[in-house]
Amino acid sequence: MTIVWICAVVLFVIIEAISVQMVCIWFAASALVTLFAALLGAPLWAQLVIFPVCTVVLLIFTRPIAKRLMKAPMTHTNADRILGMSAVVIMEIDNDLARGQVRVLNQVWSARSMGGEVLPVDTKVVVRSMEGVKVFVEKQS
């Protein structure tokens, strides 16, 4: 049975590496524990009990911890970091004439108004969304 448990460990590790969803790692760890039990001379019936019991125990006690560790806070790294930030209109925004620019984080962006209203120069706005190189803003309240 040691060969079976070695194959099970390898198979579950490969599946986990392919999926990266924290699904098969618990089975791989349980198969490893069961492999050690087989190497220590545990009878087949004990191995068949150890594997599912160990899997359930690992799932109950370690999965919540692993999920918490896997959840990293979203960090805006590129252009999307300007979403929700304040900006200043530097060229009148007029959706009908398809023109307008804002400055946010010392960068100039083509801009359109979310509500369709004309926003004059020096108006303080908030960036609500972006589409390509255009940001959609609304007047700051």
- Per-residue pLDDT tens digits for 20-42: 777 788 899 999 999 999 999 99
Contacts of 129 (CB under 8 A, 6+ apart): 83, 114, 135, 136
In angstroms, rounded to a whole number, what is the distance separating the alpha carbons of residues 42 and 61? 25
**Amino acid at site 4:** V
Q: What is the pLDDT of residue 66?
A: 76
In contact, 89 and 101? CB cutoff 8 Å: yes
**In this predicted structure, what is the pLDDT of residue 54?**
95
- Tell me how far apart the alpha carbons of residues 31 and 47 are, in angstroms, rounded to a whole number: 9
- pLDDT in the model for residue 77: 55
Task: Report the pLDDT value the prediction gives residue 139, as an integer from 0 to 100.
Answer: 93
39, β-bridge pairs: none
pTM of the model: 0.51
Q: Where are the domains of the chain?
A: 2-70, 79-139
User: pLDDT tens for residues 58-84?
Assistant: 989 887 887 777 776 665 556 678 889
Superfamily of domain 79-139: Nucleic acid-binding proteins (2.40.50.140)
